[in-house]
Structure 1
Amino acid sequence: MPNSSDCEQHPENTEQTETIPIADLEPSLALPPPPPEDEWRPIPEHTNVDASRFPFSLYGIIPVILGIFSLLLLMLCGFFGYQYFQSVQESQSKMKSFNQWNESFQNKDENFLQVQKALDQNKEILEWILNQNEYLTEALRELNAKQGDRCGPPLSHWVKYRNHCYHQTLKMVSWSECSDLCVALNATFLNMERHRLMNIMRHLAVNHTWLGLSYHEEDNQWKWKDGSLPSLGLSLPEPSTDFQGKCVYANMHSVGTDNCTTSFSCMCEKPVY
């Protein structure tokens, strides 16, 4: 059985297609209208001035820039010139100081050479003096060994001053025992002050050494054993009852006071024989 769709027939298109030319669709190009008469007038002269304003302003700025640059360059040259001048002055000052130091050193060197030359010239004289000194010292030792010292035998630690000899005992006792100790040495306890004696006592007294000087309560005075008063040169303190039982000692630098029962050395004396 035949298909119904196949039996259907399409109707034929009997309409005719109208062809439109392309040239007819494009509109015709129209020429622009002529410019108005005002636009064809000549350009005024002032327009040339406005057109050249920028070049003239640029030409004016360039000299200013060059002037500023020149000024900066001049300032820079001045600064470096000043620094160079300062360095030259400092170098000259240092060179001057060095020359002065060199001259001073040369002068010292010359003085040293002169001193050395003088020492070399006097070398023989100094050697002769040393030899004579050794000879005299040896001769003095031999003389003392044969005859003895006027204050006693050699190495007895006696010192002569004018017409007396003085001795600082090695044994240390109280002030009241110094008299007996000096008697045992065939001498007496230092009992009076002689002219400039205390100046020598300060050199003799290596340590604290009793002198025959003590405080007397009955008349409130410092007195020697012979009853004489000490000189002001001893610089003793003002006597008072506070010094009861005090005695006077000497050392290398001064004199002082202490309890008479304290054990010190004793200063003994005897006449020269």
Structure 2
Amino acid sequence: NTEQTETIPIVDVEQPLAVPPPPPPEDEWDPIPEHTNVDDFQSVQESKSKMKSLIQQTESLQNKEENFLQVQKALDQNKEILLQLQKQNEYITEALKELNVEQGDRCGPSLSHWVQYRDHCYHQTVEIVSWLECSDLCVSLNATFLKTERSRLMYIMKLLAVNHTWLGLSYKEEDNQWKWEDGSLPSPSLSLPRPSTDFQGNCVYANVHTVGMDTCTMSSSCVCEKPVCAKHSEES
């Protein structure tokens, strides 16, 4: 018998190795990232810094709000105090009006706009005239142009609440002196400037707290005075 041999073909079972694609041209390469751990650290630090700044801003706003509330509270308290003072002022004003009326009555029923201080009655004229006309104006009211010393004058000015009103005092060029209408010299307490020809044509006016000099031809009110009537003086 003839043996027959079977030829078995040898098959290569291994897969052929894949050939990698060629690299892209250099001009198409992606940039190499520069991201490092240092960048992460800086980013965290920046976040912390921003958070800290935000917290500080929040605290600052809270402090400002507290300050605002405190200021608002103080304003409310001051408003209450102001209202109380206004009420007190209204009460005092009314009391002074009543007092002035009573004092005016003591000066005589026809002198309702006069105020009394000790043994004299005083009046600020409604008419606005020059200093030279004040004397005649006071005479027409059966009174005289005011002459007094400083402490009494300041009290009278407060009673009348006057502003820039003529007194019976002027500079006399012929004597180089400040003199009252009756020719007497004023008290040093009035603190008038040293007599000088620079004051020629100047007369003395009074405010509530001070005295000053101005041109005698300037128009202003006048302060007149008269003694309290005998029967009223006895009552006071």
TM category (shorter chain) comes to 0.5 to 0.7
Instruction: Measure the CA separation in 2 of the matches of 1:179 and 1:169.
Output: 11
Q: Indicate yes or no: 2:191 matched with 1:269.
A: no
Q: Indicate yes or no: 2:147 matched with 1:191.
A: yes
Q: 3-state SS of the aligned residue for 1:270?
A: strand
Count of residue pairs the alignment pairs up: 182
Q: Which 5+ residue runs of structure 2 have no aligned equivalent? A: 1-31
Cα offset, 1:82, TM superposition: 1.0
Question: Match for 1:94: what amino acid?
Answer: Q
Conserved 8 A contact 1:152-1:158? no
Question: Match for 2:38: what amino acid?
Answer: M
Per the normalisation by structure 2, the TM-score is 0.57
Question: Match for 2:50: what amino acid?
Answer: S
Q: Indicate yes or no: 2:195 matched with 1:239.
A: yes
Conserved 8 A contact 2:154-2:208? no
Cα offset, 1:243, TM superposition: 2.4
Which position in structure 2 is the counterpart of 1:96?
A: 59
Which position in structure 1 is the counterpart of 2:167?
A: 211
Q: Indicate yes or no: 2:178 matched with 1:222.
A: yes
Corresponding residue to 1:73 among 36, 43, 49: 36
Conserved 8 A contact 1:208-1:264? yes
Give the alignment's Cα RMSD to 1 decimal: 4.1
Cα offset, 1:103, TM superposition: 5.3
Conserved 8 A contact 1:192-1:212? no
Q: How does 1:133-148 map to 2 (within 5 A)?
A: none
Q: 3-state SS of the aligned residue for 1:195?
A: helix
Question: Match for 2:137: what amino acid?
Answer: L
Which position in structure 2 is the counterpart of 1:162?
A: 118
Instruction: Measure the CA separation in 2 of the matches of 1:174 and 1:239.
Output: 22
Corresponding residue to 2:211 among 236, 250, 255: 255
Q: Which 5+ residue runs of structure 1 have no aligned equivalent? A: 1-67, 120-125
Change (3 A) 1:83 1:203: farther
Conserved 8 A contact 1:247-1:260? yes
Conserved 8 A contact 2:205-2:212? yes
Q: Which has the larger radius of gyration?
A: 1
Corresponding residue to 1:83 among 43, 46, 49: 46
Compare relative contact order (CA 8 Å, sep 6+) and give the higher one, 1 or 2: 2
